[in-house]
Structure 1
């Protein structure tokens, strides 16, 4: 039923199309012919006959079904325009009308058959075919029409050639001018760039064409080909609709001017004038059509290329999304672990801030007995060890997140190397292989570097060498090269590697050697070491021979810390105040224990301390009290530290205020975010007294007042006596060194007794070690033994 209704509707639409065409086509045709008659030359000649172009454009757009309307239109126009009351004239007009319509039908069929496009003017190739297919149509129709008129006596046989030539050119001219304009105006047209500026440009272009045309064809100035640049402009800037309309306007003005004897085409011979005029119109129309076709092709090619690029980008995005999803799925477990470790380390650092903070506060107390001071020192030492473990967890999380950065500092280089050697030599001894440590005497005493990362690299390389060496031994060399760089070289007599394996050893999770050896590690050590050394500006080099052994080395230039000795050997004592007027510090933190630590550290040395529990309260107190410096936590309820800092920086009076961010999160992006929000510095939790006082001294330009203690004086005395002490051999110092590293006071005392049994001349040395152990100065014992072990070697 639905199909029947659709067919009826289609038939109804078809009938109305034919009916409307039967009314509209005669009106359009008659109007154009009447306009052409007004442009007649003096002897009645005409430059353009538009009816054929109108019928052909209508059939190309509406189809063959309008042929009755075209026939009716042609018959009506011929009878109205050329009827003189004679029967012969009526018969001639009647005979010419069907031939004209048949010729248009044939031409329409050929265009559809050969070009096969709804719009035959889209491509330059189609335009050439279209122009060639238009030539036969006026040739057949006009030859037939002139012959009929000659037979009827209307046209003399002597003028047959001139009349036929005129009819052919005027028919072809009308096709080139009328058809493109009607086709383009009948198409659906959407201008995506409508604007007042573009309409103004089109108006200026139209005015320019009219001025040039009128000047050319109303005077004797030969400026007719100056019209081509504006037409090219119209094609490029607007399109076929506007450019074909301009061609029509130019043609009308040219025909009018030439017909009235104006312009360079107006000659004494009407035939010559028509030939020049029609040639000009054809050249202008063809140039415009071909150029518009080329531009349309370029635009479509560009659009096609853009679509291809968009599709390619879409496919790339889809593929990238697939890979990202696959990577997310693969990394889910690791990411969850990293987030857990980061969260837990943050939660552990927060209470540890109170433990270490109050341990440091109690260490500065004058009312606590000496015996209790030792317990507090033990608490502090244990807290420091726990903090080191937590930092190691954070480092693991950073490595997995690929956000590892270097944090260089000054440190004693020989002691650092000796600590690495002690760790690795124990492993070598347990495995039953030799470990040879060769040190260059020209090494600097102190350097500036990231000691933790450098230790990580050396232990990884030395650990691999020991792991893959079953016979022979491992040699560790550190020397200064001629160019001032320091070379670290690890050589072993292990299993070695084949060339194809050496290319993959620095990739993550790549392991070499037997399966038993691979089980011992994760395959990340060399990859991490390679990354760290790259961050230091160097490259790990490797040479290996299968079954013989391997050699790893890298060269790095370190800055020598020349001031390290003075800085670390000058013991100034406890800070008890500062030399300036009283300073006001605002502490903003939602946890009372964190505020309490800072308050108890700062108030005793002369600072006026204010407290706030969140960013909003901190903002209000800062505006009211105008503190000299603000220390703020980052994560707080109501308003966090980032927001509070940004609000303060927006106020003119706080543009240059000193703000220090303090947080238990020590990830680098939190530090960067704090700086971007306007903070001057970052103080990690747990708060270390030395770092806190260092930042206060730097930002507030303070001069500290120190208290020299009796213990420091006694330590200085013992250090002064170092040069006259007899030192035990390295074999005896090893046990003492290991006990000091473990912070085991009982084992230290046992090791001292063993040394005293060796010889009484070591009594000064053992008393010094016992004194330091009694004060729980484990780092001092380790540093002291490091120096003596190096000297003994």
Structure 2
């Protein structure tokens, strides 16, 4: 058994022949030190710190038992394992040696294979102990880091919560003066955004550890993305005497292919760090092309980083000093996440820094130029573009129409209703999936906003029932599940879109406006082609089909195909409402509603028969 030469063995024996034999057996696999007396052996053990000691029992001056006793009393040698070499073969001597701390015995005359095997066994034990000790140390370090992280997270979460709870409580009690209410509300909003950032960091880190973080590869307008980051940087630095400068160092393409969300996330993290740790001076972002890489250098004139701290800067849960965390805040995950994201985007992040002089974090990503992209060396980041439009601009045009909101959380439901009604929409709100299905089948909506996790009937089950009934109105999933596979699943099931919680107001309004306008445009196009004569003809055609519908319903009822009955009832419901057959429409809607209930057999059949009578009577 061959063990690495890094292990050293000290042999203590007063007989030269024994030293030569043992040295020759072990020298090829270990570093061997041989001495001829116990006193010298103790000195060598202290000075050289061997991994293993082979110690003769019978020696002049100091015998082996006396030597091991002294070795165990010395703090620097007490841990070194000792194997006795002896020609004595008495149980009493062996018991004495083991009692004094020996780990094994090698008996004379030496058997080469036994000597090598016993030594190799002890070396393997030493190796395993060191690995376990190293693992234990790593676990202790990890535990300390995570303990500090949890303490930091407690601070990061509780601090903004203190602001949110404190201000809202004071606002509710009327304690905040009129002229201070706007500041209080802004403080609550800012604290909420801070909390969202902390939660996003934790979720991103968890996805990275589980190897579940997905990356897009789509066409992006590089300068619009940079403009957005620039505007966010200006907002962060507005209360500091800081100059924010974005510089194009080389000719750059306007359109590239990458993940815009993740690129923006990295750049904003680097820029916000630079602003956070710079009290005055300048923070700049210099963008350049280097071969097949797009490079972003974020420079600042801030506090800088000590050389011995840079190596661990990109580790999880890490900040340079505990005092830094207390003063500046932050999760300690941002740079670790950014480093991982940069690698997924085909690049890296490096850092150069000098204490009290500033830092430069350099991000590189793979440069994939989109087809037909323009190139430029100039861009005015202070210009006003569409992405700078404020709330009043993008919300000023009312959205007309009727929508259904299904949300079980009382406060969220009130908030969504407030937003939707402020846009000019008529809103019906329900608390669970069962009520949502009932409302959709009884009323006409241009759009449905469906929470996914609801009591009685969840959003997915409710949506499936609506599909089975032939419901075609667009449904947007409202969900806190924001994993890529969740979103793909919603779209695969047939949801028109999704909005993540907590809701981004601008995104929600944009999506509502899009689907409302699309639905209304479709309806207007249909109505534009229907004049009064055509309408009369279509009404007559619908009436002529009522007998056929009645016969189909009787056939389906005879084989108890309730799902197909519900689909046909939905078709009749929609058309009846359009052509003025109100009572038929209500009865058809009642069938749809009964189909959603568990105990429906007798009442369902009776209602179908009632509808059949009404259809035949109308003709």
TM over 0.5: no
Query: Which TM-score applies when normalising by structure 2?
Result: 0.40
Query: Which TM-score applies when normalising by structure 1?
Result: 0.33
Larger Rg: 1
Identify the structure with the greater strand proportion.
2
Identify the structure with the greater helix proportion.
1
